[in-house]
Structure 1
Amino acid sequence: MTDARGARSLDQLNTFERLSGRPQPGDTPAGRRTPPARSGHRCVADSTSLYVFGGYNPDYADPLFRELWRYHFATGHWQQIQTQGFMPTELASMSAVLHGNNLLVFGGTGIPFGENSGNDVHVCNVKYKRWSLLNCRGKKPNRIYGQAMVIINGFLYVFGGTTGYVYSTDLHRLDLTSREWIHLKPNNRPDDLPEERYRHEMAHDGQRIYILGGGTSLTSYPLDKIHAYNLETNSWEEIATKPHDKIGFPAPRRCHSCVQIRNEVFICGGYNDEVILADLWKLNLHTFQWSRLPAVMPEPAYFHCAAVTPTGCMYIHGGVVNIHENKRTGSLFKIWLAVPTLLELCWEKLHRSFPHLANLPALQLLNLGLTQELIERLK
């Protein structure tokens, strides 16, 4: 089955694929390394690469990973990026978004958790590989971790999180142009706010910010209703979602992952106080209908990270996979959440069939018929 663009149907592509770095000719042993197993890290994606930052693993002498990794889609190759400037030291349960070429990292905690948390915005330009500290005005949020954030029309919104002792319902906004923080005060009664929480996720439709799941160390919040902050009315609303017609609502969860493609939001994995989850759900932000996708994570995980490419391919990395043994993984999986174009399918087939393509000079690639855009993705 094909769509109008000539691509296979989503049902044929809606499965997880395990990925591993493919060594390239001339690689050093260090160049063939992959990120160690970890949890509490974050990742973002653009059209060429997945960027993985931070994380935690108590099995190591230095359990916090003060490092930035890149997984290059075209070559299937991992590389630890050597950056300049001051990399953050709060490396677990920070929040991260990609804004153009800039990776924005806010909050997070060191060890002991909650004793060494941050409230600065660090920026890494992934093109020039340089970190800088964003000098901001106004009252910054508290030093927190486990919060979530989104960028809407040049404003960075941060909600929730914990100091390690107190969970928050605070909502802050940073103007990325003037660099001024504002603590937003919604027009709701104190008893009409979302529950305090951390390790939730957020989505938005330009008018509302939606809070998905999360919880405290003792509970996880359900998804039959979700809270939404209305930017126009400066107020919180509670929205009833619609269940799957056969299996109902997704299980309550925290420490899950979430990505968004236009008006569709996808949540994956997490923990519900009983088991580690492996399911994949979709929420339509127009109808608020939940749908469960047939794909299941090969490794149930929580405290993992996920990001989606502009073309609709989701990558999932790491996380805790065994509660009793406190075991983490370094596995990387991908799954198509949108029907890829024929160009994307051919592009994947090309660099799988010719893995050394990236080693050819740009002029030779042009002579072979590749466009400048594809060469930039390859390089």
Structure 2
Amino acid sequence: MMACLQEEEECEVADFSSNLLLNLQQFYLDQKLCDFTIKVENKEFNVHKVVISSVSDYFRAMLDHNMIENQQDSVELKGLTVAGVEPLLRLCYFGSLRLTHGNIYDVMNAANFLQILPAVNCCVQYLKKKLTFENADDLLKISDLYSIPTLRSFYRKYVLDNFLEFALTDQFLNLDSETLADYLSDDSLKITSECMLLHLVMKWYDHDPKSRRDSAEKVFGKIRFVADGWPAVYYAIQCEPFNTNPELQNLIRFADNCLSDPQMRFMVSDHKTTRVRYPKKTFIQIGGKIQPTAHDFLDFSYLPLDFSDDLSTLGWHKNHFYHRDLKRWIPLGASEMSETRTSNGTLTEVNGNAILCGGYIHQLDELGDDEMMVTNATYLFTPSDCRLRPLPSMKHPRAIHASVFLQGCLYAIGGCDDKQLLCSVEKLSNSGNNEISWSYVRPLPVSIKNHAAVACKNKIYVSGGLEYIIEETEKLWCYCPERNKWRKKKSMWEKRRRHGMVNIKDVIYVVGGINQTGVLDTVETYDVETDTWTKLDTTLPQPTYKACTIAMDDKIWLVGGRISIDTDDHIGFLMERILEYDPEEDSWSVIGRLMRTLETPACCALTLKLTPDGQTETDEIYTKYSNLVSLLTDSDVNDADALDFELNRFYNSLPKNS
């Protein structure tokens, strides 16, 4: 019994902290047991040292040392005001700060002087909440005076998010050209169309055309005429500054060339001028192979009614993009090439667009068999209108190859044709006279397919694949464009084909794949500087191959493909999931699903304009000029002749020296 009583036990007092705080607050209100006086202007505040020093770093430093103020139990705060200090003392006891437009300057000044960080943060949040286009100049002066960069960046985002509203204010009309050009260059600027943006910038220009003429090209050059197509161009040539300013003529001529000739979009050096305006990329899927179901009979007119082979796959002609906010797949619609069914091609981002090259063309014969033919066809996918436009074809048909865009050139590497594996490498580049063409470069040392490739630090790296029809490889090849030479680098830890390969912050990742031992769940990283491979401890949730693997916002997306649960299963089954790997967290997570099971589509990460509901967004300005263009192209005059007539009228109206 005595032993039990000798055991130590800690007992908590209910509501002790809250009662202690209530007592301190009451002492302050009743002015009891105060041991320090703060003098501001002509007023004195009696407080408790322990309270103010626990909140203010300024008072903590003063009262923790043998300073004269500590000895005299008082201090006079010169340069501060009662309006600024009194709310802060209340904060010390009650944890809340009373702010108004009339006292915010004084409180911010006092909070900075007294080093009360929570009060500074409260002031910043108050300024953000009260910030409007009308009072922005005054509030931003406070931000600059006290070095609060977050408030200015907050205001910038506020302008970009509400640009249509901002454009109705005097602040917009009085913007300097540098600031406006900076806003217009931002992908995050929310606007219904580039036509609407042109309409708003015209209002800004007309507010003071004389002083803004010299900076017109700097501002109007940030409008992405190509993204809206002919309506934006047709609108521009109706406007006065474009008819009299020689510099603006070049903007129209550039847009005209890009819209008339898809090859121009490949050659642009500043792809922001042709890229869709949106702050983040999404996943684009073109073609692929599906396992048909009863719902597919309408799309496959020759498909036998008794078709039920679970292992059979057919080429698909439907193309989609993934709306990351809605987590929903939306058809690309206009990108579909009639009934053409494709798979095993490559889709590579190029200057804000994408190039689809090679792969298989699928056709169903009368017996319902899926016949595949290797193609050398090359198309430009333009995200502004989701269309595929033909480009020069490759010199040799190829499928199950790899493609990489590097230093203004697109490389198609290895693969196979209808008869053999390929070691050849082709390069699509500017051949002069504003034309692009394919040419051969140094071939790979080996013929290969089912490999993967990425660009890293101005070189191309090719990993794994299938050599000599049946032999998987762990080799890594490096191509230097300047020397036109291939070099063998250190091999991966495992042989693999049909794997993924991406570059994240100059670290190369290879993911999954298959070899003679089975489907792989391993991930390896390669350091190009040290020529070393590291096998990660974190593996895929399931062994996976034939998945689409892309880099998205410095993370790895693994979309679809085949997974294997049984190690003896070398075929696996198709999956719908979308996996994301975060290198910082070293973890995989499921973030979505495919519209259906799918393998070997052409895919890449690309910027599309995504609206909250996934629908195409428009406005009255775009609609007006779109209708005018439609009237031109629907007239009895030939489409091209009608548009050329309007453009020639515009060009001929310009000064001769332009």
1:333 is aligned to 579
> Per-residue deviation at 1:208?
2.5
Write the letter of the residue equivalent to 1:145. A
* Counterpart contact for 1:107–1:143, Cα < 8 Å: yes
Write the letter of the residue equivalent to 1:318. G
> Per-residue deviation at 1:160?
0.3
* Counterpart contact for 1:213–1:221, Cα < 8 Å: yes
How is 1:201-350 mapped onto 2 (pairs within 5 angstroms)? 201-216=452-467, 217-223=469-475, 226-240=476-490, 249-309=492-552, 311-322=553-564, 323=569, 327-338=573-584
CA–CA distance in 2 between the matches of 1:283 and 1:358? 39
CA–CA distance in 1 between the matches of 2:290 and 2:580? 23
> Per-residue deviation at 1:133?
0.7
1:180-226 CA distance string (max 9 Å, x none): 1111246xxxxxx5221101111223443211111144121114xx2
Q: Secondary structure at the match of 2:508?
A: strand
Q: Secondary structure at the match of 2:579?
A: strand
Go from structure 1 to structure 2 and tell me whether the alpha carbon gap of 1:54 and 1:321 turns closer, same or farther (over 3 Å shift).
same
TM-score by length of 1: 0.67
Write the letter of the residue equivalent to 1:162. C
Work out which of the residue numbers 165, 177, 181 in structure 1 matches 2:438: 181
How is 1:136-147 mapped onto 2 (pairs within 5 angstroms)? 140-147=394-401
How is 1:149-164 mapped onto 2 (pairs within 5 angstroms)? 149-164=403-418
Q: Secondary structure at the match of 2:612?
A: helix
Work out which of the residue numbers 34, 46, 49 in structure 1 matches 2:282: 49
Write the letter of the residue equivalent to 1:75. L
CA–CA distance in 1 between the matches of 2:332 and 2:480? 39
Between Structure 1 and Structure 2, the one with more helix by share is: 2
* Counterpart contact for 1:87–1:122, Cα < 8 Å: no
2:387 is aligned to 130
Gaps of 5+ in 2: 1-278, 301-313, 363-368, 587-610, 615-658
TM-score by length of 2: 0.40
* Counterpart contact for 2:414–2:447, Cα < 8 Å: yes
2:333 is aligned to 82
1:296-333 CA distance string (max 9 Å, x none): 22232211111112x31221111122456652111111
Go from structure 1 to structure 2 and tell me whether the alpha carbon gap of 1:84 and 1:329 turns closer, same or farther (over 3 Å shift).
closer
Write the letter of the residue equivalent to 1:220. E
Q: Secondary structure at the match of 1:83?
A: helix
* Counterpart contact for 1:152–1:206, Cα < 8 Å: no
> Per-residue deviation at 1:90?
5.5
Go from structure 1 to structure 2 and tell me whether the alpha carbon gap of 1:155 and 1:127 turns closer, same or farther (over 3 Å shift).
same
1:225-247 CA distance string (max 9 Å, x none): x2222212222212235xxxxxx
CA–CA distance in 1 between the matches of 2:336 and 2:548? 25
* Counterpart contact for 1:277–1:300, Cα < 8 Å: yes
* Counterpart contact for 2:490–2:532, Cα < 8 Å: no
Structure number with bigger Rg:
2
Identity %: 19
Count how many residue pairs are aligned between Structure 1 and Structure 2: 280
- Identify which range, 329-338 or 77-86, moves more after superposition: 77-86
Q: Which has the higher contact order (CA 8 A, sep 6+)?
A: 1
* Counterpart contact for 1:101–1:127, Cα < 8 Å: no
Q: Please, what is the CA RMSD of the aligned residues?
A: 2.8
Write the letter of the residue equivalent to 2:382. N
CA–CA distance in 1 between the matches of 2:583 and 2:338? 32
2:358 is aligned to 107
Gaps of 5+ in 1: 1-45, 187-192, 242-248, 341-356, 361-379
> Where does structure 1 differ by over 6 angstroms across 4 or more consecutive aligned residues?
none
